[in-house]
Amino acid sequence: MGLKRREFLRRLAASATLVGATPRKNPAAAQAATEADITFRNVAAEAGITPLIVCGSKDKRSILEVNGSGCVWFDYNNDGYVDLYIVNGSTLEWMLSPSLPGEPPRNYLYRNNGDGTFTDVTLQAGVPGKGWGVGAVAADYNNDGFVDIFVYNYGPNILYRNNGNGTFTDVTAKAGVAGDNIIWSGGAAFGDYDNDGYLDLYVSGYINLDLRHPPHLHCSFEGVPVTACGPLGLPGAPDALYHNNGDGTFTEVTAKAGVTDSQLRYGFAVAFEDIDGDGRPDILVMNDSVPNYFYHNKGDGTFEEMGVLAGMAYNGDGHVQSNMGLAVGDIDNDGWMDLFVTTFADDNFTLFHNVGHGVFDDISYPSGIGTPTIPFQGWSTFFLDYNNDGWKDIFCVEGHIYIEALGGKMRAPYRQRPQIFENLHNRRFREVEAELGLGDLYIPGRGGACCDYDNDGDLDAAIICIDDRPVVLRNDGGNRAGNWLQVKTAGTKSNRDGIGALVKVVAGDLVQYDRVRTGCAFYSQCDMRLHFGLGSHQKVDSVEIHWPSGHVDRLLDLAANQAVAVREGQGRIASPYKPFRKKR
């Protein structure tokens, strides 16, 4: 029997190394040698994560019914197994007539049992949400050691405080973060913009859509008339920045801080990120069909908007895009955080390379990402080093927005497969999802986030599908393809989660940077634990944690393939993460 192509390549690569023919690093060969073993497998059903996600009617008469919802990975009970919170939408009927008989759609908190299964604990935890859920972000806003959750909606938003006993309390009213003037929120993130040790909250407003008087718009896409037109022409919803007062309450400081969304742009993904390396978290807001915001933190409690100056308000051609999801990460390990943005169909997703000090080059096409993404509608996105080679790859959740795409009337289908782009180490990427077992996974994706939920050293992902059941993609083989290190931060002077901390990991000639952050993605949030692939490196020379407070912790000579936890000022502490038990 002849060799399979991959096996042949693997042997070829191995023999090349033996004879010393290619002393330089050959990413393609390395990839061929490792990726054969990596697959993503949808384990949602066996994990017990099977709720049917609701988002309006099947015929999608309104824009509210087409964007779907998201999810958050976070360990709500500090048991060392990361849990999954899934936000659910609703229907126009439920929204207009809440007294309809039956149970309205609700959100889901799935407790990770540590054996590959999850248990729905939503009701006992008290986090069912209310109304039409959109997305969520999780962080320990009150520094009590338990991660809380902020759910944003069409309608008032909800802050659930984690009581530390497996239950939550709705503290929205006390906290003052309902966002009464934001009818439909599109994104949120926690971050400590004034470095006072308490996490502040930014919420982007999407549309102030009046369900009782829905707009009757007429538009077409690719020559096909569609019903759920885009946001242009509709009243935008304002953004809001809430300053954490440190006493369980927040104060809206939007205008004072200079982040007033004066043009009421249609906001989606949000991130706090120190883009220009000045030690202060800036704010990024991706907007749909209008320019993005980049609020530069001036360090005095105020911001200045400089999206155009930074070169990320528009794409590199100066054209506005319908930006949806956002990934923030360092694609070339140069210490500057780059941005990846998903966009509407018939437009390329955009990779902004940070050339230093907060100026971006659009390298979508030269990177190899531009062309293959054009036909598809992107939603959530995140960087994940799925093959543990120490270079961040890209995961994109996709699905057509227009139900009219069913039946092949449009260029791309309604159900689309996620796209994964492997980092080739030279600011170039190649599309690999088919090689990873996802060639046939056609889904109506929307939200999505990553997490090593099975604590096995490789990154998995969850995808929330509109009008369908979630997908949980378990990474099988990533931990064999390369070594890894995970870093969990615990702030003391800085906020408890260490959000905003920059982590530098050095393993031989491999130097990586990442930051603890919330939000990003689309309606979703990845696990806050940082994951670093190490390739063939068996040990890590050093880990530096640059805390928001300015303090730096250093760990030296760490073995690979472990999760380490670091407390600010105290160094390494016991890791909360535990290996999976055998399935019960």
Neighbours of 541 (CB within 10 A): 15
* Residue 226 found at the interface with other proteins (CB under 8 A): yes
* Residue 370 found at the interface with other proteins (CB under 8 A): yes
Please say which residue, 24 or 218, places its beta carbon nearer to other proteins: 218
Among 151-159, 177-185, 365-373, 500-508, which window interacts with other proteins (CB under 8 A)?
Answer: 365-373
Binds other proteins (CB under 8 A): choice among 39, 167, 260, 289: 289
Question: For helices 5-19 and 27-35, what crossing angle results, to 10°?
Answer: 130
* Residue 374 found at the interface with other proteins (CB under 8 A): yes
- d(Cα 317, Cα 340) in Å, to the nearest integer? 16
The least CB distance from residue 318 to other proteins, in Å, is 4
* Residue 217 found at the interface with other proteins (CB under 8 A): yes
Q: What are phi and psi of 460, to 5 degrees?
A: -105, 180
Binds other proteins (CB under 8 A): choice among 371, 426, 538, 570: 371
- d(Cα 77, Cα 72) in Å, to the nearest integer? 14
Residues in region 179-198 near other proteins by CB under 8 A = none
Please say which residue, 321 or 479, places its beta carbon nearer to other proteins: 321
The least CB distance from residue 366 to other proteins, in Å, is 4
> How many helices, marked H, and strands, marked E, lie in the chain?
10, 37
The least CB distance from residue 198 to other proteins, in Å, is 32
Binds other proteins (CB under 8 A): choice among 152, 221, 242, 484: 221
> If DSSP codes are grouped into helix, strand and coil, which group holds residue 72?
strand
> If DSSP codes are grouped into helix, strand and coil, which group holds residue 133?
strand
Binds other proteins (CB under 8 A): choice among 12, 178, 359, 406: 359
Residues in region 323-352 near other proteins by CB under 8 A = 344, 346, 348
* Residue 317 found at the interface with other proteins (CB under 8 A): yes
Beta strands 483-490 and 530-535, pairing class: antiparallel
* Residue 219 found at the interface with other proteins (CB under 8 A): yes
Give yes or no for a contact between 417 and 436, defined as CB atoms under 8 angstroms apart: no
Binds other proteins (CB under 8 A): choice among 22, 181, 220, 426: 220
Among 34-42, 122-130, 191-199, 366-374, which window interacts with other proteins (CB under 8 A)?
Answer: 366-374
Please say which residue, 46 or 346, places its beta carbon nearer to other proteins: 346
Give yes or no for a contact between 244 and 201, defined as CB atoms under 8 angstroms apart: yes
Q: Residue 582 is which amino acid?
A: K
Take residue 490 and report the two structure tokens written for it.
Answer: 């615990």
Please say which residue, 274 or 527, places its beta carbon nearer to other proteins: 274
At which residue do the structure tokens 């319908």 appear? 322
- d(Cα 582, Cα 563) in Å, to the nearest integer? 20
Binds other proteins (CB under 8 A): choice among 310, 516, 521, 563: 310
Residues that bind other proteins (rule: CB under 8 A) add up to a total of: 38
Alpha helices of 179-289 — where are they, by DSSP H?
254-257
- d(Cα 453, Cα 527) in Å, to the nearest integer? 9
Q: Which helix (H) or strand (E) holds 151?
A: strand 148-162
* Residue 303 found at the interface with other proteins (CB under 8 A): no
* Residue 365 found at the interface with other proteins (CB under 8 A): yes
Binds other proteins (CB under 8 A): choice among 316, 335, 571, 576: 316
* Residue 223 found at the interface with other proteins (CB under 8 A): yes
Which distant-in-sequence residues (6+ apart) come within 8 Å of 67 by Cβ?
Answer: 55, 134, 401, 446, 466, 523
Give yes or no for a contact between 231 and 275, defined as CB atoms under 8 angstroms apart: no
Please say which residue, 124 or 220, places its beta carbon nearer to other proteins: 220
Binds other proteins (CB under 8 A): choice among 299, 366, 550, 579: 366
* Residue 318 found at the interface with other proteins (CB under 8 A): yes
Give yes or no for a contact between 479 and 119, defined as CB atoms under 8 angstroms apart: no
* Residue 213 found at the interface with other proteins (CB under 8 A): no
Among 3-11, 13-21, 305-313, 485-493, which window interacts with other proteins (CB under 8 A)?
Answer: 305-313
Cα angle 169-578-37, degrees, rounded to a multiple of 5: 115
Give yes or no for a contact between 206 and 186, defined as CB atoms under 8 angstroms apart: yes
Cα angle 24-26-27, degrees, rounded to a multiple of 5: 140
* Residue 426 found at the interface with other proteins (CB under 8 A): no
* Residue 550 found at the interface with other proteins (CB under 8 A): no
Q: Which residues bind other proteins (CB under 8 A)?
A: 215, 217-223, 226, 229-234, 289, 308-311, 314, 316-318, 322, 344, 346, 348, 355, 359, 361, 365-366, 370-371, 374-375, 411
